[in-house]
Amino acid sequence: MSRVRPGGIVKIPFTELPKEVQERFYYDPEKAAAAQAADMAIVQQTNQHVEESNKQQREAEQQKALESQLAQLQQEEETELPVQKNIYRSHLRETVRLK
């Protein structure tokens, strides 16, 4: 239930209203408790889904980062290998000339 005040709307839980007012609005504490428990279960389930979704997203981002690092390392390896071969060949030529 809510009440309009000059400063705004004030919400008053049915549990804090007099018994007569509760009865007039057919307030049933057992039904209210069951409804609140159902609402809490939905909130908990939603939170679990959000948590799982966030976990999957983090894992996908980590996988993507690892794949990117691997690709970069492979590219560096492909670039460095010919350079190392050329250095080795130059060194080999110099060694052969010295003999």
For the chain, the 3-state helix, strand and coil shares in percent, each to the nearest 5, are 80, 10, 10
Q: Residue ranges per domain, the chain?
A: 2-98
- Contact by Cβ (8 Å): 22, 14: yes
pLDDT of residue 61: 96
Please, what is the Cα angle at 76 between 75 and 81, to 5 degrees?
A: 105
User: What is the average pLDDT value for the chain, to the nearest integer?
Assistant: 84
Alpha-carbon gap, residue 68 to 82, rounded angstroms: 22
Structure confidence by residue, pLDDT tens digits, 26-55: 999 999 999 999 999 999 999 999 999 999
pLDDT of residue 57: 97
Q: Mapping DSSP to helix (H, G, I), strand (E, B) and coil, where does residue 92 land?
A: helix
